[in-house]
Amino acid sequence: MNHAILLNNRPKGMPQIDDFKFVEEDMPAIRKGEVLLKTSYVSVDPYLRSKMNDAKSYTAPFELNKPMYSGIIAEVVESRHSGFEVGEFVSGMLEWKVYQASDGRGLNKVDVGRAPLSSYLGVLGMTGLTAFLGLSEIGKPKGGETVVVSGAAGAVGSVAGQIAKIMGCRVVGIAGSDEKCSMLSSDYGFDEAINYKTSKNMRKAIAAACPDGVDVYFDNVGGEISDAVLVKINQFARIVVCGAISVYNATSLPQSLSVQPFLVKNSALMQGFIVTDFEASFPQALAQLSQWLKEDKLKYSETVVEGFDQVPRAFMDLFEGKNTGKMLVKV
């Protein structure tokens, strides 16, 4: 039998295990021109939460009683497609199933010899691309500038901060535990790390860590943390709005500090970033990320949970910050 995970209910607030449905189904049969894929790793990411709502958006929401999907690494275990051989590994937006058929569209082959399989969902996948392109296309940090990263110990944040260091910036990370903060400083070379859970006054903490103000803010969280950064932005600051994990589970539209007076006073820019808008730049960005990885200029960490049935749990744990670096499920 095959196993699949469907969307059972649209969550109200924080997702619950009942919002997912675990089903067994027949093994898929493949036709001519198709491959049979066996899932190796499932990526769970905060942005998936938005797709669980029935909100109008430019990407379709997940459908009720249909499989969830996300970035997945899979092995070709059977092939009737001339472009794929058994034993090859691919990445793509695939369904939360152990086995699935594919006609090959949207699949990218993964070079197992070059880097660990799982890294193609992280530093050499969407999260690495998000960090690199969010910074280079919107943040545009210049050497000597101060870059603040929220969600800094997460998959995107930890890479974004390291890239800003490579670019010669002063980098301040915000994370949710002393362990994460000490990792940011000692392993990833951040200049300062602020634990927002123990900091009594975030505005003062940001001010102390950024004596020259904030030139680039790579924002993964939104909410009060972002309010505290906003009051310290410099003239011509750039805010990369990459995510807003702190408000994804809000059941009503959340309120924050009004950004308009700060933006106008500082001629500052704030821009929503979705990595798939920049697909044309993926090859070049991946080449740069691979190069830095090879030169050991870029480190990454993963939180790997084992077992296909743990996918929803791993996803829910993101909202409690239980991951360090990329959260993955090994199947």
| Contact positions vs its own copies (CB under 8 A) | 50, 57-58, 219, 222-223, 226, 231, 235, 241-244, 247-248, 253-274, 277
d(C-alpha 180, C-alpha 325), whole Å: 10
The nearer residue to its own copies, 95 or 219, going by C-beta atoms, is 219
- DSSP letter for 281, please: G
Nearest-approach distance from CB 229 to its own copies, in angstroms? 12
Beta carbon of residue 251, minimum distance to its own copies (angstroms, whole number): 13
User: Which lies closer to its own copies via its Cβ, residue 242 or residue 314?
Assistant: 242
User: Residue 295 Cβ, how far from its own copies at the closest point, in Å?
Assistant: 31
How many CB atoms sit inside 10 A of residue 170's CB?
22
Contact partners, residue 134, CB within 8 Å, separation at least 6: 156, 160, 218, 240, 242, 273, 275
Q: Would you say 88 or 137 has its CB closer to its own copies?
A: 137
Identify whether the C-beta of residue 225 lies closer than 8 Å to the C-beta of residue 25. Answer: no
Residue 161 to residue 217: CA distance in whole angstroms: 10
90 or 216, CB closer to its own copies? Answer: 216
For residue 96, the minimal CB distance to its own copies (Å) is 23
Q: Smallest Cα–Cα separation from 49: which of 98, 85, 13, 6?
A: 13
Provide, rounded to whole angstroms, the least separation between the CB of residue 265 and its own copies.
6
Q: DSSP state, 188?
A: T
- C-beta closer to its own copies: residue 166 or 231: 231
Q: Which residues face 43 on adjacent strands?
A: 328
Q: Between 167 and 221, whose beta carbon lies closer to its own copies?
A: 221
117 vs 231, beta carbon nearer its own copies:
231
Q: How far is the CB of 309 from its own copies (least distance, A)?
A: 30
d(CA 38, CA 117): 14
DSSP per residue over 82-144, as a string? TT--TT-EEEEEEESBSEEEE-STT-EEE-TTTS-GGGGGTTTSHHHHHHHHIIIIII---TT
Shortest CB 236 distance to its own copies, Å: 8
